[in-house]
Amino acid sequence: MTPSPAVCREKFLFAVFLVCVPALCFAQADRDSPLRARQVMEALAAAYPGRVEKAEFWDGDWTVVMQGVRYYYCGARLLPEELRGRAADYSPQPFYNYAAQLPDWKTPTDEEAERFRTLTDNRSRNPPRRSPHFFDALWQARTYAEAQKRIKSIVFLGFSVNAHETIHGELASVEKQIREDAKNDTGVRAWVNGIRAVGSWNWRAVADIPSRSYHAYGVAIDIRPQSVRGKQVYWLWTAGHKREWWNTPYSARLHPPDKVIKAFESRGFIWGGKWLFFDTMHFEYRPEIFTLNGIDIR
């Protein structure tokens, strides 16, 4: 199963790189601003109606209420009240820039390359540790046993996939659109026929950092091809033989057809190919990210 990469880390603050890479975190000042706090919490309330009850300013911070528990923004850490005083123990959750269209590739400058090199080194030495409390409660998956109760099997593009029961409808809509596109698009049809495996639920942390993976909730999906045709699909695998893994142009990466990406995005799934720490086989359900980036997905 393809590991899911961590999208961002606390020091991942170089918004200037948007000219050459598709998705980066917001700057520290933006992340900690009252406006950003309000945007994130209201986006969460809008993205998960019926589960997140409301977003409101409370006791000096923006909050959301879910199942009677109030979660505070706390610099994007999303902490329950009893952990507010320990905010420094946790890294921020990734609420990042996400491009509606994949930007044109530009070779990183020497300055950018040095910063990317530093990011990679810092990631190994000081991996982010994010609080799982909000998303554990959102997906009712605080433990393996609790998560397992929410996982149900669904047939997706001919493969039996164990995924969180609440996203089955979204996956069915994605499949319907992909199969419709495959009727008249040879590229989409070839991609479907070339799938080797599809996986979702896997109770684990993100590869190489001690933070909960979205696979642990069953709301991320990896679609592995039968052959990568000599191309790159996952930054960590690329880094194993190429130190400057970030300097891998799109032409050297294996991307799904654009219509496949759009089918997923139209139902609230972000694509890992738009991350700096790229994972082109990976999609995960994060509808709030589209709201935060002003992208109309329906």
* CA distances to 44, 53, 61, 88, 187 from 65, in Å: 10, 5, 13, 22, 44
Q: Residue 257 pLDDT more than 80?
A: yes
Rounded to two decimals, the pTM is 0.88
Number of alpha carbons in the 13 Å side-chain half-sphere of residue 246: 23
Q: Regarding predicted confidence, which is higher, 10 or 28?
A: 28
Question: What sign for the dihedral angle of Cα 30, 7, 282, 153?
Answer: negative
> Domain limits of the chain?
15-25+94-292
Among left, alpha and beta (phi > 0; psi -120 to 50; other), residue 13 is alpha
In whole numbers, what is the pLDDT of the chain averaged over residues?
Answer: 88
Q: What is the pLDDT of residue 258?
A: 97
Q: What is the pLDDT of residue 121?
A: 85
Model confidence pLDDT, tens digit, residues 261-277: 999 999 999 999 999 99
* pLDDT > 70 fraction of the chain, expressed in percent and rounded: 88
In this prediction, residue 174 has a pLDDT band, given cuts at 50, 70 and 90, of: very high
Q: List residues bridging with 224 in a β-sheet.
A: 197
* pLDDT > 90 fraction of the chain, expressed in percent and rounded: 78
User: Of 9-23, 132-146, 159-173, which gets the smallest average pLDDT?
Assistant: 9-23
The 10 Å CB-count burial string (b at 16+, else e) for 86-124 is ebeebbbbbbbbbeeeeeeeeebeeebeebbeebbeebe
User: Of 63-72, 117-126, 174-183, 187-196, which gets the smallest average pLDDT?
Assistant: 117-126
Mean pLDDT of 255-263: 98
Say if residues 297 and 262 touch (Cβ distance below 8 Å): no
Q: Residue 175 pLDDT more than 80?
A: yes
Q: Can you read off the two tokens belonging to residue 162?
A: 């164990």
Mean pLDDT of 53-78: 96
In this prediction, residue 120 has a pLDDT band, given cuts at 50, 70 and 90, of: confident
Mean pLDDT of 110-129: 86
Q: Can you read off the two tokens belonging to residue 217?
A: 């909730």
Say if residues 257 and 191 touch (Cβ distance below 8 Å): yes
Q: What is the pLDDT of residue 205?
A: 72
Q: Residue 140 pLDDT more than 60?
A: yes
Q: Residue 247 pLDDT more than 80?
A: yes
Q: What is the pLDDT of residue 256?
A: 98
Of 33, 215, 28, nearest in space to 135 by CA: 215
